Amino acid sequence: MNAGNIDTLPRERFPRHIAIIMDGNGRWAAERRRNRLFGHRHGINAVREAVRECRRLNISHLTLYAFSMENWKRPPTEVAGLWRLLKSYVQTELKELRDNGVRLNVIGRVELIPKDVRDAIDYTLRETAACRDMVLTIALSYGSRDEILTAVRDLARRVKAESLDADAIDEQTIDRALWTADMPDPDLLIRTSGEFRISNFLLWQLAYTEIHVTPTLWPDFSKKDLHAAILDFAGRERRFGLTGEQIKKGMKDEG
Ligand code: FPP
């Protein structure tokens, strides 16, 4: 269901956290008989537009899946090209991010990322650390099972060292042990290019997230597509396991 116009949508119907699986760069390039990196380069323009528009709409968290653990298996020239693009993105966007109050955040196995790219990322992380209006998280060298495994190992070590009681472990303990510790769970997940998969992205955090799949290939993803996804989200009833009647009654009780 579509809930109308983005500019008249009440604040409380906006998602607080949007996560995006940016897919289809390769197909977009193939349609133009160009190589895959050509698609990724154009994908950067779509990233820029999505960040600007989320900031304009006062979305507090945007999380982009830019490089998965599985992506390491791609041809070395594509992998090297993607890192070059990422390095250039964090360098060229720094001023705009800072001027607009956007803090950069990165999740994933950053230690695997080439040193010069890591240094450029670290610089932008430091330079935007005081920004308070939006958090832009880029998932790099990221795998959700890897994140969960790391958290489980960390908790197991703490139990062994007797600084944590195994019976006291609850959902919050796990939330706090993940790389997304200080973020709300995504309200809306967007996947481009028409694929209905989660692809090892934020498996724990997406438990109650609304999913919007669009056939648009990522380099063509524009603010119009973003608005369509947000309006689709706004038209959904999020029940968190309750019945529709319970939700309506709860809303009435809250006034
Ligand atoms: C998926 O398309 C996209 C990627 C693996 C990389 C996404 C990276 C960018 C958009 C550029 C850098 C990002 C940032 C945040 C600066 P695909 O290659 O799997 O497309 P296909 O499925 O059509 O082959």
Q: Which atom of ligand 1 lies nearest, measured to the CA of 27? A: 23
> How does pLDDT run across 171-222, given as a tens digit for each residue?
999 999 999 999 999 999 999 999 999 999 999 999 999 999 999 999 999 9
Distance CA 253, CA 155 (A): 39
Determine whether 23 is an active site residue: yes
CB of 44 sitting under 6 A from ligand 1:
yes
pLDDT tens digits for 118-161? Answer: 999 999 999 999 999 999 999 999 999 999 999 999 999 999 99
Distance 140 CA to ligand 1 centre (A): 11
Q: Are 42 and 25 in contact (CB under 8 A)?
A: yes
pLDDT confidence of residue 254:
55
Active site residue 71: yes
- Alpha-carbon 215 to chain mean position: 19
CB of residue 108 inside a 6 A radius of ligand 1: no
CA distance 156 to 72: 28
- Judge whether residue 235 has pLDDT over 50: yes
Q: Which atom of ligand 1 lies nearest, measured to the CA of 41?
A: 11
> Distance between CA atoms of 108 and 47, rounded to whole angstroms?
19
Catalytic residue among 35, 71, 100, 200: 71
- Strands annotated E in 36-191: 61-68, 102-107, 134-142, 188-191
pLDDT score of 93: 98
Which position has the token pair 């900031």? Answer: 55
Predicted model pTM: 0.94
Name all domains of the chain by residue range, CATH numbers in brackets. Answer: 13-151+185-254 (3.40.1180.10)
Q: Pick the catalytic residue from 2, 5, 23, 185.
A: 23
**Rounded mean pLDDT, 222-235:** 97
Q: What three-state secondary structure class fits 189? A: strand
**Does residue 170 contact residue 96 with C-beta atoms inside 8 Å?**
no
Q: What is the pLDDT of residue 244?
A: 75
Ligand 1 neighbour 23 (Cβ under 6 A): yes
CA dihedral 31, 34, 36, 37 (to 10 degrees): -130
Q: At 208, phi and psi to the nearest 5?
A: -120, 15
Backbone angles phi, psi at 106, to 5 degrees: -130, 135
In this prediction, residue 255 has a pLDDT band, given cuts at 50, 70 and 90, of very low
